[in-house]
Amino acid sequence: MPTVLLLLGMRFSYWAREHEPIHVHVQKGDAEARFNIEPEVVLTENKGFKPHELALAEEVIRDNREFMVEHWKLFFKNK
């Protein structure tokens, strides 16, 4: 599971065998969430994150969206 970013105790990653749309998984402790990041940032799954943690994760994704999309494209281009 390639990690794209570690920040504020959250791990932002995707699986090595992913599918579109471009999305990122967020883990912190036992909590997990998934956000689509293309064509826009949208929460698609949440297991255990509190609303304020989801808001923080979404803010981090929005602030780093271009980097995450580029990282995804480079990683899967080489697969």
- For 14-73, how does the pLDDT look when each residue is reduced to its tens digit (9 = 90+)? 887 777 799 999 999 999 999 999 999 999 999 999 999 999 999 999 999 999 999 888
Strands in 1-79 per DSSP E: 3-7, 10-13, 23-28, 31-36, 42-47
Global pTM?
A: 0.89
According to DSSP, the β-strands at 23-28 and 3-7 are unpaired
Provide the pLDDT for residue 79: 53
∠51-11-52 over CA atoms, to 5°? 15
pLDDT, residue 75, reads: 83
- Amino acid 37: pLDDT: 95
pLDDT at 1: 75
Q: Cα separation of 76 and 43, whole Å? A: 22
At 73 the pLDDT is 87
